[in-house]
Chains A and B, each alone.
Chain A
Amino acid sequence: MASNHVVEARGLSRDYIVHEGGLVRRTRRVVPALVDLDLVITAGEAVGYLGANGSGKSTTIKMLSGILVPTRGSVRVLGHDPVPERRHLTRRIGVVFGQRSQLWWDLPLKETYPILAAMHRLPGSVWRPRWDELVAGLELEGFLDTPVRQLSLGQRMRGEVAAALLHSPELVILDEPTIGLDMISKENLRRHLDEERRTRGTTILLTTHDLGDVQRLCDRMVIIDHGKLAFDGTEAQLAELTGARRMMTIDLDTPADGLVLPRGVELIDTEADGLRLNLRFERGVSAAQVLSAVQARAEVRDLSIEEPAIEDLVRHIYRRG
């Protein structure tokens, strides 16, 4: 494994065995949850891991964090084989489960951290300054004394992220951390994770349904569909792959007459008696080409360009699968 690879998975696969039937007739069915995943994440990257429910996201996360054994293939995280070396690995990674809490339910939030620090064997001189940083960065001061079970979801998630970052891990894995959060909490979380990455070079792997997370935080997307890798690249690459089209809205001084559009450009509709044109154009066509085609026939007053919605791009991927 190359030294700057944080995650290296080759042919990673996982099957589940499902027992069905009643008292008399029991059948055994093999359900593949993840099939032949090849994934390399280098240090300092922020990768978004997308997929529908049941697509294999959680299974991947479990195999990376050492709580599930792969059926086939290999995986190395920070050089460790996750399941046999789990205890070593957990010292170097942080995991946030969106739906399961790592915090102590009955205790005030602030009491979680000395316990975790003790488990990580961190002396006070090391963890306390770090903790002050996290409290400030994630804005935890207001509810440190509140018992965890009384926290709102947003507050709890911030607490969880702080818990995962306390020991300054090299890799942070987050499983749907923004689910159910309000906009402000989401933004706060994303901002902090981004900062962690920029200041400490922490690698981030984030599974999510929320494409806003991906856009804000990740420079790369991996899309899983029905257990198989469907896409691995940047948003721009995705747009190109799906042949996604952009929208341009052009406002004119006078209606255009005899508009000739180049290939790959489509007039969707007009508004304001022909003074506003809504055009859609493909990847291969540049915005400049569209503009000049319109300018040839009319005076352009103003224009705006809209990138394809990432949701549409992703949906394209699913449909192709």
Chain B
Amino acid sequence: MAELAQDRPVSWLRMMATLLASRWRSQMVYRGSMIAEMATQGFLILTEFLELWVLLTHAPALGGFSLAEVALVYFCANLGFAIADLTGGSLDATEALVREGRLEALLVRPTSLLVQMITQELQLRRIGRVVVGLVGYPLGLALVGIDWTAAKVLLAVLAPLGGALVYFSFLMGAGGFQMIVVGARQAANAITYGGKYAGGVPGGALFTPIRVFFTFVAPALFTAWLPMAWILGIDTPAGTPSWLGWFGVPAGLLALGAATIWWRAGLRHYTGAGG
């Protein structure tokens, strides 16, 4: 049956569409409960913001950003993260697959582990966060009162896209890491969720080593703070000038490259070490 392998009239795109459609169907089996879960996820973005709100009842600004400006940074980062979480959120669950022995069944299929996990472990409820982000971010931009120029508009659009790339890379890198150091999932959280935490606050409020780490090692601060600082014209500490905000997408692509290396290394380790 060798000719079957060579003959591939079904395109990659159609394959993805089929895989995603089947996942959608299986997730929407209990429609009402799924909608409720989406709403909860969206609501959680607001409750997580409460922490920052309480801080700002005691001080006029955090890292030079007022309450409205902090909200803008928060929603920008969370929009980027929500998109990354929706697409790649299941990638940082490789540890469970290894522990339960399910990874093998996935590896004997002809599609890459990456595609399988993205399509078959997709959690639809994360759409809730994307929706809230898509509403909150533009709203924040409108309410803060910006002197719009073409450049500022461009950066405002690019920021969450770069953010999505960066956070996706964190999730993918974490997935690879978990296949190498089994049982250390929480250590990876320091970057995936730590990055989300740090990325959603003004970097000026962070201790210098943390700020440097999340700029030059795990570029979470490119996802919202730097671009927003540039747009709003707010001063940033020395060493992290706000024009860096324009490099969100390149930083994301670099991070993606690094994540791919981690992912491949993880797979090599799993097949080499015997799971």
| Chain A contacts to B: CB under 8 angstroms | 14, 16-17, 59, 62, 65-69, 83, 86-88, 90-93, 95, 97, 100-102, 104, 106-107, 111, 114-116, 118-123, 126, 167-170, 200
Contact = CB atoms under 8 A, between A and B. Distances in A.
Interface of B: 1-2, 4-5, 8-10, 14-15, 18-19, 22, 25-26, 29, 101-102, 104-105, 107-112, 116, 120, 270-275
A100 B15 CA distance: 24
Contact of A91 (B14, B18, B110, B116): B110
A77 B29 CA distance: 41
5 contacts: A14-B274, A68-B272, A88-B5, A115-B22, A168-B4
Contact of B14 (A83, A90, A118): A118
A17 B273 CA distance: 8
B22 A66 contact: no
B268 to A, nearest CB: 8
B22 A123 contact: no
A66 B271 contact: yes
Contacts, number: 95
Given A83-B271, A118-B14, A67 B22 contact: no
Tell me if A's interface is mostly helix, strand, loop or mixed: mixed
A69 B270 CA distance: 9
Contact of B4 (A93, A104, A114, A122): A122
Contacts of A16: 274
A93 B14 CA distance: 23
A101 B19 CA distance: 18
B20 to A, nearest CB: 10
B274 A100 contact: no
Given A83-B271, A126-B4, A66 B107 contact: yes
A87 B110 contact: yes
B1 A169 contact: yes
A122 B10 contact: yes
A181 to B, nearest CB: 19
Contacts of B112: 87
Contacts of B18: 114-115, 118
Given A87-B110, A90-B110, A106-B29, A118 B10 contact: yes
A68 B1 CA distance: 26
Given A106-B29, A122-B10, A100 B101 contact: yes
B26 A107 contact: yes
B104 A97 contact: yes
A304 B104 CA distance: 49
Given A14-B274, A68-B271, A118-B19, A102 B105 contact: yes
Given A90-B109, A119-B110, A121-B9, 5 more contacts: A68-B275, A69-B271, A93-B108, A115-B18, A121-B110
B15 A104 contact: no
A170 B105 contact: no
B108 A95 contact: yes
A159 to B, nearest CB: 13
Given A106-B26, A119-B111, A67 B104 contact: yes
B10 A123 contact: yes
B29 A170 contact: no
B271 A67 contact: yes
A107 B4 contact: no
Nearest to A97: B105
A168 B19 contact: no
